[in-house]
Amino acid sequence: MNAQSNSSTKTATKPRHYLMTRPTHYTVAYEINPWMHPEIATDTARALAQWQELHDIYVELGHRVDVIDDAPGLPDMVYAANGGLVVGGKAIAANFTYPQRQPETPLYNAWFEQAGFPVFSTRGRSEGEGDILTVGSTILAGTGFRTALSAHVEIAEITGLEVVSLELVDSRYYHLDTALSVLSPELIAYYPPAFSAASRAVLEARFPDAVIAEDEDAAALGLNLVSDGTHAVMAPQARRLGDAVRERGFEVITVNTDELLKGGGGIKCCTLEIRAA
């Protein structure tokens, strides 16, 4: 498939449903990952403009985007992917590792409830789609920095889906969605050095055809992309990864979210996919 043939498949792309959180209170006020440097200035207006551009791209692609506002004192709330997980019409609440983010949980839960999704909780730490990515009918689950292995087991019980645990070993790639992208139900991209040797072996066996990201792509959080199966919305800085994804037949749409990178998040972090079915 090439870029031209994509235009014919565009109309066939299944509309997605995303939840995004407007970053009206965005800043870097504390340090809970290696990307965050509170001493470096942030520009909330710039973050808002970048976020709006991402939002508008999804809408132009025909996806449904619901928006909630962040709350004062919760500068990381823009990273909606961590707000929970909605799979098969069930919501699994976030159980954040760091106290700074724990007050986000009731706010996201309120949205899930009003949207009609029953909310389940895990005893183990769990940071939503930051660490839990759905590939077809399998869940790839990250652990090592945030989400606990015990939560993987709980999530398998709640969803009834197979959960494959993957261990993250590089603190820059503390959430699975910083080191691995889901391009389609069959295709992923990932950065091998972010994973333990055992987890790399699991990924190689399951996804022999995967796109492999290089250091620069990973360092720009290029893997923190959102694909609807036809279009891959991703960081312009991850040029090689963009080319590789394009070669696999995707239409690459770039949006710069470098202001939001100061908090350690990118495009996927700002996007929670709502999977009603």
* Cα–Cα distance, 102 to 128 (Å, whole number): 12
* Cα–Cα distance, 117 to 137 (Å, whole number): 19
Which one among 70, 76, 217, 228 touches ligand ARG, defined by CB under 6 A? Answer: 76
Based on the shown chain and the rule CB under 6 A, indicate whether residue 178 belongs to the binding site for ligand ARG: yes
Question: Is 175 annotated in the active site?
Answer: yes
CB atoms under 10 Å from CB of 99, counted, come to 9
Q: Minimum Å distance from CB 33 to ligand ARG?
A: 4
What is the total count of residues that contact ligand ARG (CB under 6 A)?
A: 16
| Residue 93 · residue 106 · CB < 8 Å | no
What residues contact 264, with CB distance under 8 A and at least 6 apart?
33, 34, 35, 36, 174, 178
Based on the shown chain and the rule CB under 6 A, indicate whether residue 269 belongs to the binding site for ligand ARG: yes
Q: Which is nearer to ligand ARG, 79 or 195 (CB)?
A: 79
CB atoms under 10 Å from CB of 115, counted, come to 15
Question: Is 270 annotated in the active site?
Answer: no
Largest Cα–Cα distance in the chain?
Answer: 48
Which one among 21, 33, 199, 227 touches ligand ARG, defined by CB under 6 A? Answer: 33
* Cα–Cα distance, 7 to 78 (Å, whole number): 32
Based on the shown chain and the rule CB under 6 A, indicate whether residue 223 belongs to the binding site for ligand ARG: no
Q: What sign for the dihedral angle of Cα 144, 263, 172, 223?
A: positive
Identify the three-state secondary structure at position 251.
strand
> For ligand ARG, which stretch binds (CB under 6 A), given 37-45, 74-82, 84-92, 148-156?
74-82
Based on the shown chain and the rule CB under 6 A, indicate whether residue 58 belongs to the binding site for ligand ARG: no
Q: In the block, which residue shows the tokens 């590939």? A: 135
Residue ranges in 104-133 that form contacts with ligand ARG under rule CB under 6 A: 130
Q: Which is nearer to ligand ARG, 80 or 251 (CB)?
A: 80
Which one among 182, 262, 265, 274 touches ligand ARG, defined by CB under 6 A? Answer: 265
Contact set with ligand ARG (CB under 6 A): 32-33, 36, 76, 79, 81-82, 101, 130, 175, 177-178, 263-265, 269
- Active site residue ranges: 175, 269
